[in-house]
Structure 1
Amino acid sequence: MTTLSREAALAAVKAVLGRLGGGDADLELLGPIVDNAVFRLPAGVVARISGAPSYERAAREVRTGNWLATQGVSAVRPLEVADLPWSVDGLVVTLWHEVPEAEMASTAELGGLLRGLHAVPVPSDFAIPALDPFVRVDEHLAAAAGALEMVDRQFLVDQLDELRPAYAAAAARLPDRVIHGDANRKNAIRGRDGITVLLDLERFSLGPREWDLVVPAVYQRLGWYSDPEYDAFVEAYGWDVRSWEGFAVFATVREFRMTAWLVSRLAREPRLAAEAGRRIASLRNPDAPRAWTPGV
């Protein structure tokens, strides 16, 4: 993925404002710039700027947002302008309707959103990609090659080789549903009207619903969701994935993905070394208490 600098993102979003016929006085950056930048524009519009190699992924997000609207799924909606995504100064821009005065949804609200999403029939007239639970994991491990101790990197490579067939066996008899793919509470927001919507359509896929449900369960065992918060999620959704026999495998895959993404950042963010060590230690000893730092 192209590294996105603040200067390049600002230049691109200002070009977008010019194309939309507005000035940049009300331009506001929402959150830090990592792989993409999100800006609030005038007139209730949000722009997402990302690197050029992400064009097809961005196009898929726009198509997915438009399709979800036809299915009555509460999700962010693309702006009704032609030819989204736009290529601007070598970057990719998507435009979305803003959710005014948005706040992070509760776990109960997330459970309700997922229950509704998983009830949507698998479409025959709209192509949704099959879930790849290991997407970009090899890339993440390769990026960590010079920043990890050899013994830790080899452990991760070996565990990945074990997890691929273990996941396939656990998922083999599960029916495909329309799933979000990254169903944590940060990807669900509530507007001032009280309506909750799903964000971040990048990972929407056809796959087992358990892949979505295991995320809150993993967050609960990491201590990122309290027991009452997780119980509220289960009550709203109507089923606790921890009772499923394949839970341990899916949970380990999720934690592995979270660890691989973190170690991929070590070369440019050496401050994360201690956190990476904690996560790798947890993967080595799944029964030990976890003390992972959220939000890194």
Structure 2
Amino acid sequence: MMPIESQRTPLERRDLQEACRAVGLDPREARHLRTHSNEIWLLPRAAVVVRLSMNHHDVSAVTRMVRLVRWLWEQDLPVAELWHESPGPLVLSNGRIATYWRSLTVPEAPDYRAFGSLMRRLHQVSPPPDQVNLAELDPVAAAAEILDEEWPNCGLDRRFVADRLAEIGARLRSAPLSISRGLLHGDAHVGNLLVDRGRLVLGDWDSACVGTPAWDLIPTALEPQRWARPRAPYQAFVEGYGQDVTTWPYYRELRELVEWRRITERIRIAGHVPRAGRNLCRHLHTMYAGDLHTPWYGPEAEAATRGPQDFSTR
């Protein structure tokens, strides 16, 4: 099971109570599972998971995500299932958005070969119907969102990022990325894998879009470097998928865009997930140095962090 943090204040539970009351669920035995871009609660008796957005998300975007998940489920594709009585996205009184999902288990040990096969199957799916209305991925624009965020106080100038993204954008304008265009999960990694009746499925479809499959594959390809994990799991993933994204044209440019995007996401949530702010300066310094191998996570990265780091910006 996911790690459980059961002690939450009454104020923090207020939104959960509102979300449950609206659909006839009992929140009294709710257990907090985790908080990242969403706050996740398990209702054990009902076998329902409630996801609460951390920000006032665009309800139309969440509605598109729900429509996509329902469409994928109807195609018998490997996707987490919405709670059968779910009314769709519910906007709470403070603007947060609740969605409701059937409770699933987390795999004890991720099967990377099966994960690769799952991603191959997903990438073979034709883009969903027009009513789902998924966004088109622009990798450079996705990475460039970091320029609009509060900047970590790491002694580095954000103009470097703008210059790097301009360089990469110029290279990619002539790249044949549209040739391999398809449905993307948008945030595919082993942390989003779940097990449903013995079958591996993907949860967390908030970032789904249409674009180059490389965007989904690169996070797993980075695990041996940034997570200091053995290479064997990635090799199993490659065998399952049938291709190695690290050999694709423009891999290095797309990898850098993925990494800037990941840093952006950590900056965004650092205010309410303190651990997300740890090692941010390490991440940025490696990017500024063009260092593709220094771990961002794991024992080596933690050892290099002297004491707790508070997220601060300037």
Q: TM-score of the superposition, structure 2-length normalised?
A: 0.80
How far off its partner does 1:137 sit?
4.5
Partner of 2:40: 38
Of residues 126-135 and 83-92 in structure 1, the stretch that sits farther from structure 2 once superposed is 126-135
Output the CA distance in 1 between the equivalents of 2:167 and 2:117.
Answer: 34
| Counterpart residue type for residue 15 of structure 1 | E
User: Quick check: 2:38–2:51 contact (8 Å CA) kept in 1?
Assistant: yes
User: Quick check: 2:105–2:194 contact (8 Å CA) kept in 1?
Assistant: no
Distance 1:66 1:170, change over 3 A: same
Output the CA distance in 1 between the equivalents of 2:143 and 2:9.
Answer: 26
User: Quick check: 1:17–1:24 contact (8 Å CA) kept in 2?
Assistant: yes
Aligned-residue Cα RMSD (Å) equals 3.0
Task: Name the SS of the counterpart of 2:22 in structure 1.
Answer: helix
Partner of 2:29: 26
Output the CA distance in 2 between the equivalents of 1:110 and 1:165.
Answer: 33
Q: Select 1:57's aligned residue among 55, 61, 86.
A: 61
Output the CA distance in 1 between the equivalents of 2:99 and 2:64.
Answer: 11
| Bigger proportion of residues as helix | 1
How far off its partner does 1:159 sit?
1.5
Q: How many residues align?
A: 289
Output the CA distance in 1 between the equivalents of 2:195 and 2:100.
Answer: 19
Partner of 2:115: 110
Output the CA distance in 1 between the equivalents of 2:181 and 2:268.
Answer: 30
| Counterpart residue type for residue 43 of structure 1 | A
Output the CA distance in 2 between the equivalents of 1:66 and 1:274.
Answer: 36
% same residue: 24
Gaps of 5+ in 2: 1-7, 303-314
Task: Name the SS of the counterpart of 2:158 in structure 1.
Answer: helix
Gaps of 5+ in 1: none
Q: Select 1:131's aligned residue among 127, 130, 137.
A: 137
Q: How does 1:140-151 map to 2 (within 5 A)?
A: 140-145=146-151, 147-149=153-155, 151=156
- Is 2:161 aligned against 1:156? yes
Distance 1:280 1:19, change over 3 A: closer
How far off its partner does 1:276 sit?
2.8
Partner of 2:192: 187
Q: Deviations over 1:75-96 (max 9, x none)?
A: 1122233641011222211111
Q: Select 2:126's aligned residue among 107, 114, 121.
A: 121
Task: Name the SS of the counterpart of 2:222 in structure 1.
Answer: helix
Q: TM-score of the superposition, structure 1-length normalised?
A: 0.84
Q: How does 1:166-185 map to 2 (within 5 A)?
A: 166-185=171-190
- Is 2:260 aligned against 1:249? no
| Counterpart residue type for residue 118 of structure 1 | H
Distance 1:271 1:75, change over 3 A: closer
- Is 2:13 aligned against 1:10? yes
Output the CA distance in 2 between the equivalents of 1:153 and 1:273.
Answer: 17
| Counterpart residue type for residue 85 of structure 1 | P
Q: Deviations over 1:14-52 (max 9, x none)?
A: 123223334323211111x34421111231111101132
- Is 2:226 aligned against 1:235? no
Output the CA distance in 1 between the equivalents of 2:152 and 2:165.
Answer: 18
| Counterpart residue type for residue 184 of structure 1 | H
Distance 1:243 1:262, change over 3 A: same
Q: Deviations over 1:175-226 (max 9, x none)?
A: 21111111111111224x3211101101111111122112211222324442
Output the CA distance in 2 between the equivalents of 1:6 and 1:158.
Answer: 44
User: Quick check: 1:211–1:250 contact (8 Å CA) kept in 2?
Assistant: yes
Task: Name the SS of the counterpart of 1:189 in structure 2.
Answer: strand
| Counterpart residue type for residue 189 of structure 1 | L
| Counterpart residue type for residue 296 of structure 2 | W
Of residues 7-16 and 260-269 in structure 1, the stretch that sits farther from structure 2 once superposed is 260-269
Distance 1:9 1:114, change over 3 A: farther
